[in-house]
Amino acid sequence: MNRKLFFLLLFLLPAKLFATDFSGVKGLIERRVPWLKNNVEFVELKNSGKEGFTLQTKSNKLVIEASGSSAAATGLNWYLKYYCNRSMSHMGDNLAPVSPLPKVTSKVSIAASAQYRYALNYCTYNYTMSFYDWNDWQRELDWMALNGVNLMLIANGEEAVWQNVLRKFGHTEQEITEFITGPAYNAWWLMGNIEGWGGPMPQSQIDGRKALVKNMISRMRSLGIEPVMPAFFGMVPHNFDKKIKAHIANQGTWGAFIRPSILDPTDPEFNRVAGVFYDETKKLYGADIKFFSGDPFHEGGLIEGVDLGKAGLNIQRAMQQNFPGSTWVLQGWQDNPKKALLAETDKSLLLIQELFGENTNNWETRKAYEGTPFIWCTVTNFGERPGLNGKLQRFANEVNRASTGEFASYMKGVGIMPEGINNNPVAYEMLLELGWHKEQVNASEWLNTYVVARYGKYNKNVADAWQLFLQTIYSDPGYQEGPPESVLCARPNIEIKSTSSWGKLKKGYDLAKFEQAVKLFAEAGNQFKNSETYKIDLINFGRQVLANRADTVFAKMVQAYKVRDLSAFNTTANEFLQLHDITNNLLNAHKYFRLTTYQKQAVRSGNTVEEKKNNLHNAMMLITYWGENNRNEDNLHEYAYKEWAGMMLTYYKKRWELYFDYLRRKMGGKEPTAPDYFGWERAWATQNEVIANAPKAYPSTDEAIKRIFR
């Protein structure tokens, strides 16, 4: 009997060991929708042959059959969205309890159309996530899981890896400190653009970020999300040639910043350094990493003297030697990855991100990147600059076209790669859901269900407004890098075409139709007094109305100046400044749009006085002048500008006041010295490395909106 029992247990053990564990998704329910905790049952979907889930109510419980944790979380979200009218986003949640729970009377079966549903850009880790603590990351990862993400970049916590690597190659602690950036700049460090800026990073913070990433990986695995970790592609400190004898390709500068160098991947020393890098990665973050990201010679890197074909082969070979079977993930951006770099690689172990799919079709012109697996992605936002943007129908059309056309066998999924993600939730939600639709999606029809789930109930004004939004802000006006910008936040000048160096002011949609939509949306206010998502969106739409009006006022002011009409100039200049006041008042109606909210986050994420101080320093630099201290290379100011209450008055309005006073003196026949914005901006950032005092009272959303339309 004992022998029979032993063999029976031995037979059953593998099934138990390898059965799908849904504990991560159950934990998500407890954190986000605890009212569902005792009303959902998860069952492994067996013998399906593909990733997917089913939904059906049985014995008054929702039964979710799923092929794995990612599908289970997506199934949960499907029920919340399409049955409970509930949703979670980066701009507010609508997750209040629903009673009675809707029943799914007939089984619903959904299969994934995308093998990979990818998320995050290196830049997202700074424009949005520089100061995320574990609570922030728990929320972020829950959102990722609900939206079906099963592959996500991790671009923090590398400081500890590099610290250990460089120690083994004889670097002093000071040299290591000078290589590692501050907490708001690690994205451009890991992409090989800059060194050291925003530092030094205290050892306590390096240790804290290491622990945070370990927690992230553990939680991601429980939710069915594979981490994509930084690869070793040759990036080394610019003075690494003093530590080893090898061919090290100097990479010059990125703007005014000295770039890290590239250890030639064809040099014999490359494998040795790569081995140390991957060994330290294993020690800290585990040996079961399956995806690595890294783009050598990114954005202007110098390739002279490097055999690109052999370089690509050796980068991949080192990766495979240390993590067999892993996939190298590269950005499809401009001419990256270069054809020669891919020529000698095993392309079955590559994955290219069509990074800028809302504008480009490199996947098509390069014939699936010369026959390489790829995913279709959107950036949507640069620098997390404010603005409404997202080519929704293009998303659906291009994903479908790539999935059904000549290169369909190489099309492996979809991805969101925003430089900042606290904006345009509709764009990210729609694109990720496309990974679960086989047929082409009609954006207009899809929006009808999105809107009800976002606000909790149907309202005709809101529904009609969103159809107008689809025709305006969420249309396809042609090529544009992120949303159109606000002249209110531009560095003052008479001739302004953009607020940031690579953006544009021109709005490619019908401004009157958009304002009509916002009025329609606002008329529903009495029906959504307790809706956080409605209030946040109303403020954001109102903010855009004011930014659009500013273009007209600015044009009148410029014309008045050119004809030297001082009276008209003063009238329009004052009207322009009043738009700052009205905007500031509107933004103050919700904490989401206040500078102090993000200052507090930067301080809260620091564990020591030193960390808190440097975090705030990093935060204020990033959103104003960014970092260059060279007047001849001052191109990054306003790249990450923010329309936040607090900044509108003390930074943007004040800067325009300085300029208008300067213009008035010129109109009066004087020869005044032009304002020194380069110095003024840096002084402002330093002076505001403290959290501002809160006003005595904040306006209500209704009051602030009425001030716009009265």
**Rounded-to-integer distance, Cα 673 and Cα 675, Å:** 6
Per-residue pLDDT reduced to its tens digit, 588-599: 999 999 999 999
Residues 19, 133 contacting (CB under 8 angstroms): no
Q: What token pair was written down for 653?
A: 């309005």
Whole-angstrom CA distances from 506 to 260, 442, 471, 554 are 36, 27, 17, 13
- pLDDT of 299 reads 77
Whole-angstrom CA distances from 86 to 92, 102, 108, 531 are 11, 12, 18, 12
Side-chain-side CA neighbours of residue 221 (13 Å): 10
**Rounded-to-integer distance, Cα 177 and Cα 159, Å:** 10
Residues 608, 202 contacting (CB under 8 angstroms): yes
Neighbours of 526 (CB within 10 A): 7
**Rounded-to-integer distance, Cα 49 and Cα 140, Å:** 30
Provide the CA 197 distance to its chain's centre, in angstroms: 21
Which strand (E) or helix (H) includes residue 43? strand 40-44
Which strand (E) or helix (H) includes residue 66? strand 61-66
Query: Is the pLDDT at 305 greater than 80, yes or no?
Result: yes
Provide the CA 433 distance to its chain's centre, in angstroms: 17
Do 154-345 and 490-709 come out as alike in CATH topology?
no
Whole-angstrom CA distances from 665 to 492, 494, 571, 668 are 16, 15, 16, 5
Q: What token pair was written down for 607?
A: 């564990």
Q: Three-state DSSP class for 71?
A: helix
Q: What is the CATH number of domain 490-709?
A: 1.20.120.670
The residues near 70 (Cβ < 8 Å, ≥ 6 apart) are: 51, 117, 145, 148, 149, 150, 223, 224, 225
The pLDDT of 10-27, averaged and rounded, is 67
The pLDDT of 623-651, averaged and rounded, is 96
* Beta strand residue intervals within 400-493, DSSP E: 411-416
HEC sequence for 347-415? HHHEEEEECCCCCCCHHHHCHHHHHCCEEEEECCCCCCCCCCCCCHHHHHHHHHHHHHCCCCCCEEEEE
- pLDDT of 710 reads 82
Burial (CB count <10 Å: 0-12, 13-18, 19+), residue 439: exposed
Residues 127, 384 contacting (CB under 8 angstroms): yes
Query: Is the pLDDT at 73 greater than 90, yes or no?
Result: yes
Query: Is the pLDDT at 659 greater than 60, yes or no?
Result: yes
Per-residue pLDDT reduced to its tens digit, 24-72: 999 999 999 999 999 999 999 987 688 999 999 999 999 999 999 999 9
Which string of DSSP letters, residue by residue, matches 161-230? HHHHHHHHTT--HHHHHHHS--TT-HHHHHTTS-SSTT-PPPHHHHHHHHHHHHHHHHHHHHTT-EEEEE
The pLDDT of 129-138, averaged and rounded, is 98
Nearest to residue 162, comparing CAs of 222, 206, 102?
Answer: 206
The residues near 155 (Cβ < 8 Å, ≥ 6 apart) are: 120, 122, 125, 186, 187, 190, 230
- pLDDT of 8 reads 47
Cis, bond preceding 484 (omega within 30 deg of 0)? no
Pairing of strands 411-416, 61-66: unpaired
Residues 589, 700 contacting (CB under 8 angstroms): yes
Per-residue pLDDT reduced to its tens digit, 318-339: 999 999 999 999 999 988 999 9
Which strand (E) or helix (H) includes residue 249? strand 248-249
Residues 162, 229 contacting (CB under 8 angstroms): no
Query: Is the pLDDT at 12 greater than 70, yes or no?
Result: no
Query: Is the pLDDT at 17 greater than 70, yes or no?
Result: no
pLDDT grade, residue 693 (50/70/90)? confident
Tokens 């302004």 map to which residue?
A: 496
- pLDDT of 3 reads 53
pLDDT grade, residue 16 (50/70/90)? very low
Pairing of strands 327-332, 291-293: parallel
Q: Three-state DSSP class for 422?
A: coil
Pairing of strands 374-378, 411-416: parallel
HEC sequence for 290-308? CEEECCCCCCCCCCCCCCH
Q: What token pair was written down for 655?
A: 């800067």
Whole-angstrom CA distances from 44 to 53, 111, 113, 148 are 9, 14, 19, 17
Q: What token pair was written down for 436?
A: 């679960």
The pLDDT of 484-511, averaged and rounded, is 97
The residues near 145 (Cβ < 8 Å, ≥ 6 apart) are: 24, 25, 28, 69, 70, 73, 74, 223, 224, 225
The pLDDT of 238-247, averaged and rounded, is 96
- pLDDT of 696 reads 84
The residues near 167 (Cβ < 8 Å, ≥ 6 apart) are: 176
The residues near 268 (Cβ < 8 Å, ≥ 6 apart) are: 246
pLDDT grade, residue 2 (50/70/90)? low
Q: What token pair was written down for 695?
A: 């006003």
567/696: higher pLDDT = 567
Nearest to residue 580, comparing CAs of 490, 457, 666, 511?
Answer: 490
**Percent of the chain surpassing pLDDT 70:** 97
Q: Tell me the CATH class for 154-345.
A: alpha beta
Q: Please give the model's pTM, rounded to 2 decimal places.
A: 0.96
Residues 88, 142 contacting (CB under 8 angstroms): yes
- pLDDT of 569 reads 98
Provide the CA 18 distance to its chain's centre, in angstroms: 34
Tokens 């070793």 map to which residue?
A: 232
Q: What does the DSSP 8-state code read for residue 128?
A: T
The pLDDT of 149-176, averaged and rounded, is 98
Query: Is the pLDDT at 340 greater than 50, yes or no?
Result: yes
The pLDDT of 653-666, averaged and rounded, is 98
Burial (CB count <10 Å: 0-12, 13-18, 19+), residue 243: middle
**Percent of the chain surpassing pLDDT 90:** 93
- pLDDT of 49 reads 80
CATH architecture of 19-111: 2-Layer Sandwich (3.30)
pLDDT grade, residue 694 (50/70/90)? confident
- pLDDT of 4 reads 52
Geometric angle at alpha carbon 159, from 298 and 290, rounded to 5°: 70
The pLDDT of 405-412, averaged and rounded, is 98
Q: If you average pLDDT over every residue of the chain, what do you get?
A: 95
- pLDDT of 19 reads 62
Which strand (E) or helix (H) includes residue 680? helix 677-687
- pLDDT of 7 reads 44
Query: Is the pLDDT at 419 greater than 70, yes or no?
Result: yes
Per-residue pLDDT reduced to its tens digit, 373-396: 999 999 999 999 999 999 999 999
Which sequence spans correspond to the domains of the chain? Answer: 19-111, 154-345, 490-709
